[in-house]
Chain A
Amino acid sequence: MADEIRTSKISAIGGLARSFNSALFSDIYSTLIGFLSGTRSFYIILSLGVLTVFVASISGLDAMRIGYRHAYNITREIPWGIIISTYIFFVVTSTGLCIVSSIGHVFGIKDFMPIVNRAVFLAVVTIFAGFSVIFFDIENPFRMAIYNALSPNLRSNLWWMGTLYGAYMFFMAIEFILLLLKNHRFATYAGLAGLISGVAAHSNLGAIFGMLHSREFWYGPYMPIYFIASAVMSGGAAIIFFTWIGYKVNNEKMDAPMERAIEVVSKLTAFMIAVILFFTAWKVVTGLVGSPPKREVIKAMLVGPYAANFWGFEIIIGMILPFAILLGTGFRNVNMSFLASVLMIIGIFFMRYDLVVEGQIVPVFHELGVNEYRGLLHYLPSLHEIMIITGGMGIVASAFLIGERVFNGHKSEGH
């Protein structure tokens, strides 16, 4: 009996290894073919992406050399700037991609299946881009690797976030490999593990802000909940955006299941826009009667220096217009859904930026009435910071394009 189990185990492992080998070879083969058959514009865009990553790396290393205090516009009062907000932008997107893809892959809703492979691949890519960006914000990233393990602070949301996102990236990568190997049973388990760690990590990211009781604008249970809800919205937008471009890159026409998948993702995305609009409305209304520092932020958001970001980018471009487009086209027009997703991604980028910066613009001693901290604080990103975050986008763009070629339009789902 025991021998039988052992033999079956061995043969299973052998089978896995064989399928891995054949998949590996076919991958390398298709990579070669894919690259050779690429069009000129594909290579131009890819080169641009790689070039951005290169320039960003130089900027990042230069910032390291001269010191972040000199290279970035962050200050003692506003220590978190656009690099942190872009990190959040990427990991929100990644978590969203994971959640939306899990609807198909983990929970078995057929309509979502066609988007799964691309979404899982991009989830890995975007979390990697997030880590790459934040690498240049953390002063001693190598110490983090050591002391995260040797000296963990279990009460720190930041520790949980970092550790869980590490696990998340691992599970998502495993899931993607298993999807390529068409090992769907284990891929589902890996997807479930990725989903659980991703949601836990992401709500911890929200809790980093939500549990800072000295920052009234962030403090409270709102942040973790908002982060998860807006992740689904971002994930939906990212899936529509990348799937549409993917088909353009491969010069193919979407088949019926894929069009159906885009339609259901569009519906989900529109629903999530409504949820976030609802959240935002109550955040503003409750903030208006909150403590004085919170009211200051809300004022800055509604009529102050951040009003253009809030009304223009967050509300109109990020939510109202896409919602109107999606609803107006009945979710069936793929091109219009793509347009909505572009607007959303732009708006969401500003949502993250505003969320991070606005939480810090009211000085901690504002209410003390001292001359030093009467007004609001200011922050605008420096060139180094902008270059680094552009590099993060370059990573996503390049990896996405290469992925389309290498994995042949992510069609191994076999629909």
Chain B
Amino acid sequence: MRLDLDGLKKDPPESIPAIERRQFLKMGLVVTGVFAGGTVLSLISNIQRVFASPEEFKEKYPYTPHYSMVIRQNRCIDCERCLEACRRTNHVPPYGYRTAILERTIPDAIGQKREFIPVLCMQCNNPPCVRACPTRASYKHRGNGIIMIDSKKCVGCKACMVACPYNARYFNEEKRAIDKCNFCFDTRLSKGERLTACAAACPTGARTFGDLSDPSSDVYRMVHQIERPVWVLRAEVGTRPNVFYMKA
């Protein structure tokens, strides 16, 4: 088929549907973000490195289910219900924590000057803690990719605490072992619950938990889009986390 280019009439801008225009602008923003900001670039490209190209996404997930959490950072209001739910569900002692909410203040920002960043174990695909552990007390679950602790094997050398780039671990005196977030595997997921305690407790939907290998899941849809930047914390370390961050 030949196009009659000369015969084409110029469309006035008003005739382009608004939705198309918006999408085009968004794409431009993402592209600009990718090429302009070095940080954004590394974060986005890191996700691509982890999960290959979009078509191959599903095949590339090493676990089924591949548990993941997407944190919509701007939705966190620091109500700390997630922290409470975590403590209650997983019997976390007062001297430790499995998840925390960090606070960032930017005094010269226009408008909102404060934001909250929930953090937890990133359940890395390339976990430094697992490599550091001398006795395989820390291990990555073969079925679902969660970083687990076999308490009876933990010698308490604290090498994993030093190795973790996310400060996700503490020594639990009652268990005589290192303790950390395991996406509530023993307390909820293995008992048929579909959400972690923190995700279930969050009133604003800041924490979305799900199976990244399931294209119908919310986490899949959030990670596999290019309209809004998705990033991971400390991408430069190369741990390939399974906890993603975005603002939506």
Contact = CB atoms under 8 A, between A and B. Distances in A.
Interface of A: 67-69, 74, 76-77, 79-80, 137-141, 143-144, 147-148, 151-153, 155-159, 162, 208, 211-215, 291, 360, 363-365, 367-373
A156 B133 contact: yes
Contact of A370 (B102, B155, B158, B236): B102
Interface of B: 95-96, 102-106, 117, 119, 128, 131-137, 152-159, 161-167, 169-171, 173, 176-177, 233-234, 236-239
Q: What 6 A-B pairs come out closest when comparing CB atoms?
A: A139-B156, A214-B165, A159-B134, A147-B135, A79-B158, A370-B102
A14 B158 CA distance: 48
A141 B155 contact: yes
A158 B159 contact: yes
B103 A139 contact: no
Nearest to B104: A370
Contacts of A159: 134-135
A139 B105 CA distance: 38
Given A147-B135, A370-B103, 10 more contacts: A76-B170, A79-B162, A139-B156, A147-B137, A151-B153, A156-B131, A158-B133, A214-B239, A370-B102, A372-B103
A139 B176 contact: yes
A156 B170 contact: no
Contact of B104 (A77, A144, A368): A368
Majority DSSP secondary structure for residues of A touching B? loop
Most chain B CB within 10 A, of A74, A77, A144, A291, is at A144
Nearest to B100: A372
Nearest to B138: A153
Nearest to B103: A371
A379 to B, nearest CB: 13
A211 B128 CA distance: 9
A159 B131 CA distance: 10
A69 B135 contact: no
B178 to A, nearest CB: 9
Nearest to A369: B104
A156 B95 CA distance: 28
A186 to B, nearest CB: 32
B154 A140 contact: yes
B155 A140 contact: yes
24 contacts: A68-B171, A76-B170, A79-B158, A138-B155, A139-B176, A140-B155, A140-B177, A143-B152, A144-B135, A153-B131, A156-B131, A158-B132, A213-B238, A214-B128, A214-B163, A214-B164, A360-B162, A364-B165, A365-B166, A365-B167, A365-B233, A368-B104, A370-B102, A372-B103
Contacts of A139: 154-158, 171, 176
A75 to B, nearest CB: 9
Contacts of A80: 158, 162
A158 B119 contact: no
Contacts of A213: 128, 165, 237-238
Given A369-B104, A372-B102, A77 B156 contact: no
B246 to A, nearest CB: 16
Given A139-B155, A153-B136, A79 B161 contact: yes
B155 A215 contact: no
Contacts of B173: 67, 69
B135 A363 contact: no
Contacts of B166: 364-365
Contact of A143 (B106, B131, B153, B167): B153
Contacts of B128: 212-214
A137 B162 CA distance: 14
A371 B239 contact: no
A373 B233 CA distance: 15
A368 B158 contact: no
Nearest to B156: A139
Contacts of A211: 131
Contact of A155 (B131, B158, B236): B131
B163 A153 contact: no
Contact of B133 (A74, A137, A153): A153
B88 to A, nearest CB: 21
